RNA sequence: GCGGCUAUGGCGAAGUGGUUAACGCACCAGAUUGUGGCUCUGGCAUUCGUGGGUUCGAUUCCCACUAGUCGCCCCA
């Protein structure tokens, strides 16, 4: 074996690719209905963008970035997530000046993180995500969540759990942060190393720790929800009200903390509850990021979005035993016998294709029997057999594979005949 | 970054310190001089992830590496 695919990446072979196309099509169609428009940004950006946008205390920035220097000495990074780049483009192209606000965008493409691969985790993976920039209406939070749920439901997923939380605004977070430090500080030595490090860096993450999950201080820890100021609480309540109005079931989990620094107010996650799903159950994560646009150098602009991984979506479909309605099989396989017929078959196949018929022929110099077998393997609806006899009579033998019925069709009307029977 | 398990033909999968590496599926050919899906017959791994080591001899034992997989951390 001379070459192999880089670690944590995968080839999407034709059979799988058909599923990808189907999912992409559903996602695009729903974006059309929700009026989100596609934006395509580069696969790499200046490293500085992610340091700023994602936050330099995050794991992503600290240990997961594919960073390299180009020949001009610039530090570039393969994008580890989509939001920073979309916001960069929003600012750079002055989209805050667009007449239609909020600006509603979606993107779909590969992201890169240098991590150890595992079930549902890759070094290159594809995210579909949306961003709504310029609105502070809790209804847009609900819309974004609804769009994510709609995508999953349209594909047939049932075993989903939507969890939401509010991280509050800057003021609320500050007071909650202090309350957490006061709560854990006296007994922090009873916690794991990670938690001890988190105490001052990001005490909220202690609540997320799985090792110390059962420590009594965890149960009694101050909840962010108790520290939301008036404005933040009202906002969160409205988001919930709208979700109810949309008939979307959810659970409030005050311990839900999103990994990226830029989140505030609404945070949410959609998980799969399917049996036998791997350890990583998060299908989609998102939230509000009101400070980010300014951080990237634009005017103060609120924003909310989510990102979901197509790989995990496929895994969820698999876990729920859902097969997508992928059409397979060609319309007509032209079987040729003899030199003259072979030459003729090339023209016939071309003519069929010209008229929109999916057609194939043999290129392996197979015998009739083997050509039929090949047609069968390709799930051809029809087979058209052309030999010496047919050429003599100016006809072609059209056989319906499922019924075995066969009829002679004059060569000059063959293509239109096929178009007819295939309707 | 850390830990467990794994690595045999296109795929699935048995197996042994000793010289022919089971079997199933798929594929190819023939039985069937021009007709698929069924049946029968035959063919299909100079080789057991890569590199070292132990040994008279290793696919089988040991080590390293690479990759996969599951989990931790974290996340999509």
- The domain defined by A14-169+229-319 folds into BirA Bifunctional Protein; domain 2 (3.30.930)
Instruction: Give the DSSP letter string of A88-127.
Output: HHHHHTTGGG-SSSSEEEEEEEEEE-----BTTB-SEEEE
Residue A400, nucleotide of least CA–C1' distance: B36
Residue A406, nucleotide of least CA–C1' distance: B35
pLDDT for residue A200 = 78
pLDDT tens digits along A166-188: 999 988 888 888 888 888 888 88
Burial A268-297 (b: 16+ CB within 10 A, else e): bbbbbebeebeeebebbbbbbbbbbbebbe
Is the distance from CB of A286 to CB of A313 less than 8 angstroms? no
Residue A364, nucleotide of least CA–C1' distance: B28
ipTM metric: 0.85
Name the more confident of A99 and A262. Answer: A99
pLDDT tens digits along A211-234: 676 778 887 888 889 999 999 999
- Helices A310-319 and A14-34: crossing angle in degrees, nearest 10, is 110
Do the annotations mark residue A405 as ligand-binding? no
Residue A281 has what DSSP assignment? -
Mean pLDDT of A361-377: 91
User: What does pLDDT average to over chain A?
Assistant: 91
Name the more confident of A367 and A208. Answer: A367
Q: Does residue A276 carry a pLDDT above 90?
A: no
Name the more confident of A218 and A160. Answer: A160
Q: Domain A332-421: give its CATH superfamily.
A: Anticodon-binding domain (3.40.50.800)
The confidence band for A259, taking pLDDT boundaries of 50, 70 and 90, is: low
Do the annotations mark residue A262 as ligand-binding? yes
Do the annotations mark residue A263 as ligand-binding? yes
Name the more confident of A218 and A40. Answer: A40
* Nearest-angstrom CA–CA distance, A37 and A364: 46
Is the distance from CB of A287 to CB of A266 less than 8 angstroms? yes
pLDDT for residue A198 = 76
Mean pLDDT of A318-338: 89
pLDDT tens digits along A12-39: 888 889 999 999 999 999 999 999 999 9
Residue nearest to nucleotide B28 (CA to C1'): A370
Mean pLDDT of A138-152: 98
How long is the CA A47 to C1' B48 vector, in angstroms?
46
How long is the CA A378 to C1' B9 vector, in angstroms?
25
Nearest to A50 by CA among A394, A295, A385: A295
Least confident of A195-209, A283-297, A310-324, A355-369: A195-209
Do the annotations mark residue A127 as ligand-binding? yes
* Nearest-angstrom CA–CA distance, A111 and A298: 24
Is the distance from CB of A51 to CB of A118 less than 8 angstroms? no
Do the annotations mark residue A258 as ligand-binding? yes
Q: Does residue A154 carry a pLDDT above 80?
A: yes
The confidence band for A195, taking pLDDT boundaries of 50, 70 and 90, is: confident
Instruction: Give the DSSP letter string of A318-358.
Output: HHTT---------SEEEEE-SHHHHHHHHHHHHHHHHTT--
pLDDT for residue A210 = 65
What are A28's two structure tokens? 């695009």
The domain limits of chain A are 14-169+229-319, 332-421
Mean pLDDT of A177-203: 82
pLDDT for residue A2 = 65
Name the more confident of A24 and A261. Answer: A24
Which nucleotides of chain B does any protein CB come within 7 A of?
1-3, 27-30, 32, 34-37, 49-50, 66-76
Identical fold, A14-169+229-319 and A332-421 = no
The confidence band for A1, taking pLDDT boundaries of 50, 70 and 90, is: very low
pLDDT for residue A217 = 82
Q: Does residue A327 carry a pLDDT above 80?
A: no
pLDDT tens digits along A381-409: 999 999 989 999 999 999 999 899 999 99
* Nearest-angstrom CA–CA distance, A1 and A7: 15
Mean pLDDT of A114-134: 94
How long is the CA A6 to C1' B17 vector, in angstroms?
36
Residue nearest to nucleotide B50 (CA to C1'): A1
How long is the CA A79 to C1' B63 vector, in angstroms?
39
Q: Does residue A321 carry a pLDDT above 60?
A: yes
In this prediction, what percent of chain A has a pLDDT beyond 70? 98
The β-bridge relationship of strands A264-272 and A103-112 is: unpaired
Do the annotations mark residue A371 as ligand-binding? no
Name the more confident of A77 and A259. Answer: A77
Mean pLDDT of A288-302: 95
Distance between start and end Cα atoms, chain A: 47
How long is the CA A3 to C1' B21 vector, in angstroms?
26
Q: Does residue A333 carry a pLDDT above 90?
A: yes
Name the more confident of A58 and A194. Answer: A58
């Amino acid at each position: 074996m001379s070459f192999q695919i880089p670690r944590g990446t995968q080839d999407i072979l034709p059979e799988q690719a058909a599923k990808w196309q189907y999912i992409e099509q559903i996602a695009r169609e729903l974006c059309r209905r929700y009026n989100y428009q596609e934006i395509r940004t580069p696969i790499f950006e200046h490293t500085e963008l992610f340091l700023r946008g994602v936050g330099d205390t995050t794991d992503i920035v600290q240990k997961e970035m594919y960073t390299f220097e180009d020949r001009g000495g610039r530090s570039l990074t393969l994008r580890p997530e989509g939001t920073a780049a979309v916001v960069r483009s929003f600012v750079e192209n002055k989209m805050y000046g667009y007449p239609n606000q909020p600006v509603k965008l979606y993107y779909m493409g590969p992201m890169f993180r240098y991590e150890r691969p595992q079930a549902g985790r890759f070094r290159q993976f594809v995210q579909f995500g949306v961003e709504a920039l310029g609105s502070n209406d809790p209804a847009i939070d609900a819309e974004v969540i609804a769009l994510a749920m709609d995508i999953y439901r349209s594909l047939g997923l049932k075993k989903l759990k939507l969890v939401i939380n509010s991280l509050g605004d800057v003021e609320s977070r500050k007071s909650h942060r202090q309350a957490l430090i006061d709560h854990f500080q006296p007994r922090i030595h009873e916690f794991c190393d990670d938690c001890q490090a988190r105490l001052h860096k990001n005490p909220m993450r202690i609540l997320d720790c799985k090792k110390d999950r059962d420590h009594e201080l965890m149960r009694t820890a101050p909840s962010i929800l108790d520290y939301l100021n008036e404005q933040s609480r009202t906002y969160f309540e409205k988001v919930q009200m709208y979700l109810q109005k949309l008939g979307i079931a959810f659970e409030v989990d005050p311990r839900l903390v999103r990994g990226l620094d830029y989140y505030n107010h609404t945070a949410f996650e959609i998980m799969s509850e399917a049996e036998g799903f791997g350890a990583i159950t998060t299908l989609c994560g998102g939230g509000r990021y009101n400070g980010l646009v300014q951080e990237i150098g634009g005017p103060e602009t609120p924003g909310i979005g989510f990102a979901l991984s197509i790989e995990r979506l496929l895994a969820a479909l698999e876990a729920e035993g859902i097969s997508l309605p992928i059409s397979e099989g060609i319309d007509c396989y032209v079987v040729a016998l003899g030199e003259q017929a072979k030459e003729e078959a090339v023209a016939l196949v071309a003519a069929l294709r010209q008229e929109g018929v999916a057609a194939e022929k043999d290129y392996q110099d197979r015998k009739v029997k083997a050509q039929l077998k090949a047609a069968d393997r390709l799930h051809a609806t029809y087979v058209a057999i052309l030999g010496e006899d047919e050429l003599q009579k100016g006809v072609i033998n059209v056989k319906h594979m499922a019924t075995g019925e066969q009829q002679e069709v004059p060569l000059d009307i063959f293509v239109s005949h096929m178009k007819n029977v295939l309707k």
